[in-house]
């Protein structure tokens, strides 16, 4: 079989290109308000069902489609290892019939497998008010994308001969670049492709993957009022994809599926202790949806707010909807304690009813790195369009563990400054608030300063690209550090990785002194420890803090932040490393947002 392994969204509202790859069970979209997280969910919702790829469940809002743009969604399918091996066997048989030597056949088949020829297909849906199927593409052995099929009209498409395409790939490997790319073309009914009838096995497996994905029910669970909370006492067999029959569906579950109804109640109680039990009292042929509190009071759910209603819809999908679906959530963290957010994330990961979950969130709880998660960092680029870059949770988790940071620090910041030690974190925060050049960007750019551990960067699995995939605006601030045995330190390894990266990553490291406190000026030390009488000798031996200690003063790392607070901007500019760090942050801020009055 084949699986859907990636999605790309573009051309809708502010979306430049947002990629979710690899597609995982839990896919988290993070970014500032207005970057287009909801637009990704809108496009995903609007993709047509496989019964007729020319129509979809939801139309895109016309007023939201910019003039001259074309909403576009690309779906990437990939064959499993076992099925791919089976698909390339015909190449072997054809070569044997042509009398090709066994050694050459083995070489050709190995080259095919290594190149992944025909293993991945890209399915393209374009248009408004509904994105419709347009074409599919594959990448040839020379790395060039070839359009294999294109829709001609609502009933017919042009498709390249699969046999000719396969022969081209074999020829391209065995005989060198094939300049005589002449493929027979056929015009076939679209229905034949959609239904997977009379298609080569390779293509059929990819079609089946797209059909499975688009055939899943899509639950768009936004925090908006979903219909009345008082209704005729009639049954509802399944929750509508937008949840507008929530009340009637809950009434049906209470009367027909008591176990599922109890699970829903228990889940809601775990998220919001003391909320009461969900009830559906009937009066005059109508029922009301209420919370029944311990003292007997009945509070209509309509008074509970739309966020709570969103959680009710989610609980239905998790415990009562018995077909796998796609769950699309917008900001489920609203008004929820972080512990409740973690319970939601755990329930989604463990649910057998949710094949894939897409969450648009601002919460650091949801922006976590784990093996079943894809994190997508969405940022507005120059020109006003949003770019979304993604990385799998397990790939980045190792790097985060090495550095001692969380995914949310990286994904939710405009600029992330990673510095060694908590006392240095406080100092950098003080500096950035005083640096006058940053004043023009302070309100528009979110600068997060966090500590990290550079000592473990010597791990051979460390890959700085996995950090940059979530946030390219990264600055490291390091001690000099030295290895008594003379070998390289983790600081050395990190600086080398930053310097060799293309383009280089900002890495500011102490040069003249070993530790952070050695750059603190004497004036700041005297203000922090005013009870100690001493004088700094600029011609004497050691840094100001070393001379202070020699005079009997006690200096704790906890004083570093206090000293930074007492440093003026002029003091900061006198320390080359501090000035270098502040200018690096300022330059990044200038690229992200235009200056505003400070």
Rg (CA), the chain: 30
Predicted pLDDT of residue 477: 93
Predicted pLDDT of residue 176: 40
Predicted pLDDT of residue 114: 72
Give the side-chain half-sphere CA count within 13 A for 185: 12
Exposed / middle / buried, residue 168 (Cβ in 10 Å: 0-12, 13-18, 19+): buried
Predicted pLDDT of residue 460: 61
Phi, psi angle pair for 66, to nearest 5°: -60, 145
Question: What distances in angstroms separate CA 174 from CA 104, 105, 106, 464, one per listed residue?
Answer: 8, 9, 11, 38
- 2.30.29, 3.30.70, 3.40.50, 3.40.720: CATH of 223-348: 3.40.50
C-alpha closest to that of 380 among 452, 317, 473, 479: 473
- 68-123 pLDDT, tens digit each: 678 999 999 998 888 887 777 777 777 788 788 888 888 877 777 776 767 888 89
Question: What distances in angstroms separate CA 409 from CA 375, 446, 550, 554, 565, one per listed residue?
Answer: 12, 11, 39, 34, 24
Give me the sheet containing 230-232, strands edge to edge: 230-232, 286-288, 282-283
Count the Cβ atoms, other than its own, within 10 Å of residue 578.
Answer: 24
Cα distance between residue 189 and residue 587, in whole Å: 56
Exposed / middle / buried, residue 9 (Cβ in 10 Å: 0-12, 13-18, 19+): buried
Cα distance between residue 571 and residue 328, in whole Å: 51
Q: Are 468 and 395 in contact (CB under 8 A)?
A: no
Cα distance between residue 91 and residue 105, in whole Å: 9
What residue ranges of the chain have pLDDT lower than 70? 52, 54-57, 63, 67-68, 115, 117, 140-144, 154, 160-188, 191-201, 223-234, 304-306, 335, 369, 393-411, 455-461, 482-486, 594-598
Predicted pLDDT of residue 177: 40
Cis omega (within 30 of 0) for bond into 506: no
Owner of token pair 């992200």: 592
Cα distance between residue 546 and residue 515, in whole Å: 11
DSSP conformation letters of 112-144 = HHHHTTTTEEEEEEE-SSS-EEEEEEEE-TTS-
Predicted pLDDT of residue 479: 85
**Token pair listed for 269:** 């109680």
Give the side-chain half-sphere CA count within 13 A for 499: 8
Count the Cβ atoms, other than its own, within 10 Å of residue 228.
Answer: 16
Cα distance between residue 316 and residue 265, in whole Å: 10
DSSP conformation letters of 534-556 = ----TTSSS-HHHHHHHTT----
Q: Where are the beta strands (DSSP E) in 54-181?
A: 72-79, 120-126, 132-139, 145-151, 156-160
DSSP conformation letters of 407-444 = HHHHHS-SEEEEEESHHHHHHHHHHHHH-GGGTTTTTT
**Token pair listed for 107:** 């070489």
Q: Are 211 and 197 in contact (CB under 8 A)?
A: no
- Please, what's the b/e burial string for 494-526 (b: 16 or more CB within 10 A of its CB; e: otherwise)? bbebbeeeeeebbbbbbeebebbbbbbbbebbb
Q: Are 575 and 419 in contact (CB under 8 A)?
A: no
* Residue 303: DSSP 8-state: G
Where along the chain do its domains lie?
2-215, 223-348, 395-592
């Amino acid at each position: 079989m084949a699986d859907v392994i990636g999605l790309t969204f573009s051309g809708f509202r502010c979306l430049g290109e947002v990629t979710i790859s690899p597609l995982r069970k839990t896919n988290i979209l993070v970014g500032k308000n207005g970057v287009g997280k909801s637009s990704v969910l809108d496009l995903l919702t609007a993709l047509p069902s496989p019964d007729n790829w020319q129509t979809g469940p939801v139309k895109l809002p016309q007023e939201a489609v910019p003039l001259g743009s074309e909403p576009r969604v690309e779906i990437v399918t990939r064959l499993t290892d076992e099925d791919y091996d089976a698909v390339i066997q015909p190449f072997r048989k054809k070569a044997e019939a042509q009398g090709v030597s066994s050694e050459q056949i083995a070489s050709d088949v190995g080259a095919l497998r290594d190149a992944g020829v025909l293993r991945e297909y890209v399915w393209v849906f374009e248009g408004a008010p509904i994105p419709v199927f347009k074409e599919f593409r594959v990448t040839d052995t020379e790395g060039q994308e070839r359009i294999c099929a294109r829709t001609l009209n609502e009933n017919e498409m042009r498709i390249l001969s699969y046999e000719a395409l396969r022969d081209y790939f074999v020829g391209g490997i065995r005989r060198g670049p094939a300049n005589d790319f002449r493929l027979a073309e056929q015009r076939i009914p679209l229905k034949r492709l959609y239904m997977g009838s009379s298609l080569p096995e390779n293509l059929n497996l990819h079609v089946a993957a797209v059909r499975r994905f688009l055939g899943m029910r899509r639950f768009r669970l936004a925090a908006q009022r979903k219909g009345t909370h008082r209704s005729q006492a009639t049954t509802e067999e399944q929750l509508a994809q937008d949840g507008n029959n929530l009340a009637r569906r809950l009434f049906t579950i209470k009367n027909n599926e008591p176990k599922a109804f109890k699970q829903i109640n228990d889940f809601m109680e775990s998220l919001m202790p003391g909320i009461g039990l969900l009830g559906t009292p009937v009066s005059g042929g109508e029922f009301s949806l209420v919370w029944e509190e311990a003292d007997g009071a009945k509070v209509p759910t309509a008074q509970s707010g739309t966020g709570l209603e969103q959680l009710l819809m989610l609980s239905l999908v998790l415990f009562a909807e018995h077909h796998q679906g796609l769950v699309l959530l917008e900001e489920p963290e609203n008004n929820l304690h972080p512990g409740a957010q973690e319970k939601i994330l755990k329930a989604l990961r463990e649910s057998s009813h949710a094949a894939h979950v897409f969450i648009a969130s601002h919460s650091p709880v949801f922006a976590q790195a784990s093996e079943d998660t894809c994190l997508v960092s969405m940022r507005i680029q120059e020109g006003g369009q949003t770019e979304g870059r993604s990385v799998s949770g397990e790939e980045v988790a190792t790097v985060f563990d090495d550095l001692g940071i969380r995914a949310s620090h990286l994904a939710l910041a405009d600029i992330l400054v990673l510095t060694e030690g908590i006392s240095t974190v406080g100092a950098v925060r003080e500096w950035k608030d005083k640096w006058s050049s940053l004043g023009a960007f302070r309100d528009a750019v979110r600068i997060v300063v966090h500590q990290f551990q550079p000592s473990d960067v010597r791990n051979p699995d460390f890959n700085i690209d996995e950090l940059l995939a979530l946030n390219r605006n990264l600055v490291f601030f390091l001690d000099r550090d030295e290895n008594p045995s003379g070998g390289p330190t983790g600081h050395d390894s990190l600086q080398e990785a930053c310097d060799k990266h293309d383009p280089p990553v900002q890495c500011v490291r102490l040069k003249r002194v070993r530790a952070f406190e050695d750059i603190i000026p004497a004036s700041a030390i005297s203000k922090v420890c005013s009870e100690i009488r001493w004088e700094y000798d600029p011609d004497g031996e050691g840094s100001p803090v070393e001379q202070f200690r020699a005079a009997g003063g006690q200096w704790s790392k906890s004083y570093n932040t206090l000293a930074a607070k007492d440093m003026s901007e002029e003091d900061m500019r006198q320390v080359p490393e501090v000035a270098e760090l502040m200018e690096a942050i300022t330059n990044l801020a200038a690229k992200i947002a235009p200056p505003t009055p400070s």
